[in-house]
Amino acid sequence: MNEVTYLNEPIGIIIWSENFEELLNFYETVLEVPCTKKKENSAYFQWGNFKFTIANHSEIKGKSKDPNRFMINIKVEDIENTTKKLLKYGVNFIRMPEKEKWGGKVATFEDPENNRVNLIQII
Task: Give the per-residue SS3 of 28-49.
Answer: HHHCCCCEEEEECCEEEEEECC
- Over residues 111-122, mean pLDDT: 94
Distance of alpha carbon 57 from alpha carbon 100, whole angstroms? 36
- In angstroms, what CA-CA distances link 1 with 4, 15, 69? 10, 31, 26
The predicted pLDDT at position 64 comes to 87
pLDDT tens-digit readout, 35-52 = 999 999 999 999 888 899
pLDDT tens-digit readout, 71-86 = 889 999 999 999 999 9
* Residue 1 confidence (pLDDT) above 70: no
- Over residues 43-62, mean pLDDT: 91
Question: Domains in the chain, start-ordered, CATH in brackets?
Answer: 1-59 (3.10.180.10), 71-123 (3.10.180.10)
